[in-house]
Amino acid sequence: MNNSYGEIIKITTFGESHGLLIGAIIDGFYSNKYIFERVIQLKLNLRKPFTSLFSTQRKELDKIKIFTGIFESKTTGCPILLMIKNHDNNSLDYNNIAKNFRPGHADITYKKKYKNRDFRGGGRSSARETACRVACGALFNNILNNKGILIRSYIKQIGKLKINFNYWKNKINRFFTNIFFIKELKEYINNLKNSSNSISAEIITIINGIPIGMGDPIYKKIDSIIANYILSINASKSIFFGINFKKKNSFNIKDEITKFGFLSNNNGGILGGITNGQPIVFNTIFKPTSSTSKETQTINDKFLETKSKTFGRHDPCVGLRAIPIIESMISTIVINKIIKKKIYE
């Protein structure tokens, strides 16, 4: 099982959804950089469960603790160990599916590949692991911001409901917290919960301040690396850069160039796998939550057909908490590319 990512700064995450804790080891990070737990905590709070009545009711504190690699609030250059305790891991909710494979989950593939699986919330395959990614990504924010690089995302659509978004004035506008004051959306999510259904989400990410020349063709294109990292996020099923050409005339997506720069950004800031100096723009599609309380057809570990029903606490729309995860993964890519460029200059 591959539990690590990153080129120069390497991150290894560990722990399971219903284990004692989850965490990460960050190796290769800068020395002499200020790191504060409270700054990491602010990012984690954007992702953690129970942030609204419309997300899973698992009440996790997601309290971050740094154990190594820090002295007097500064990094030493040694590996940094971060850990988050699990508190509200009610494993009894999963006893009824201990021998059944939940449709849409990794239960059957984990069992087939590893001959064993942790049925308590999916174990290692659970989205609980993404808290570690958010904590790690928070270490890179100040460095990137000081270089004029800004990574921001917003929810464009939930199911068939499009969400109007016009400005970045209030940072919370890009998260789901305030949009539930919209009556239509509130009723929509409530109906999903009451009918034991779930829905997809589409998130747009814009990266400003990326210099020209980031990306190494032909097998290390920046868009292929981004796609690799984003599709590693639980429930992410699709990503496209720039405009959705399926909705446009395919012959009209080129970006004409003048001496003052590009006249459009249909390609999302990337040409031939190399950044062209424009903002990188991409959309991520998250599938509906696989676990609901509806009874489904499946098989058990004896490969006999059966009916299965999952109890517990589940998001009606997993994409609602995905923004800080996306931004953390992108910040990891960018910080590594910056360091790599400096090494080879």
Give the CATH number of the domain where residue 211 resides.
Answer: 3.60.150.10
C-alpha to C-alpha distances, 288 to 3, 104, 247, 314, 315, nearest whole angstrom: 25, 10, 23, 11, 9
Token representation of residue 133: 């990614």
What pLDDT score does 135 carry? 96
State pLDDT tens for residues 211-264: 999 999 999 999 999 999 999 999 999 999 998 776 656 667 789 999 999 999
Its pTM stands at 0.88
What pLDDT score does 104 carry? 86
Q: Which of 40, 41, 9, 11 is CA-nearest to residue 24?
A: 11
- Cα(297)–Cα(307) distance, integer angstroms: 5
- Cα(118)–Cα(300) distance, integer angstroms: 14
Domain count for the chain:
1
| Residues in the chain where the model's pLDDT stays below 70 | 49-60, 88-94, 165-183, 246-251, 311-313, 343-345
What pLDDT score does 211 carry? 93
What pLDDT score does 172 carry? 45
For residue 314, the enclosing domain spans 4-344
> Would you mind telling me the total number of residues written for the chain in this entry?
345
Q: Are 312 and 105 contacting, i.e. CB atoms less than 8 angstroms apart? A: no
3-state secondary structure of 181: helix
What pLDDT score does 173 carry? 45
What pLDDT score does 138 carry? 95
- Cα(328)–Cα(230) distance, integer angstroms: 10
Q: Are 33 and 23 contacting, i.e. CB atoms less than 8 angstroms apart? A: no
Q: Which of 100, 56, 8 is CA-nearest to residue 333?
A: 8
Q: Are 101 and 304 contacting, i.e. CB atoms less than 8 angstroms apart? A: no
Strand ranges in the chain using DSSP code E only, listed in sequence order: 4-5, 10-15, 21-27, 64-68, 70-71, 74-75, 80-85, 150-158, 161-162, 201-208, 236-241, 257-258, 261-262, 270-271, 274-275, 280-286, 296-299, 305-308
- Cα(87)–Cα(128) distance, integer angstroms: 12
CA 113 to chain centre: 25
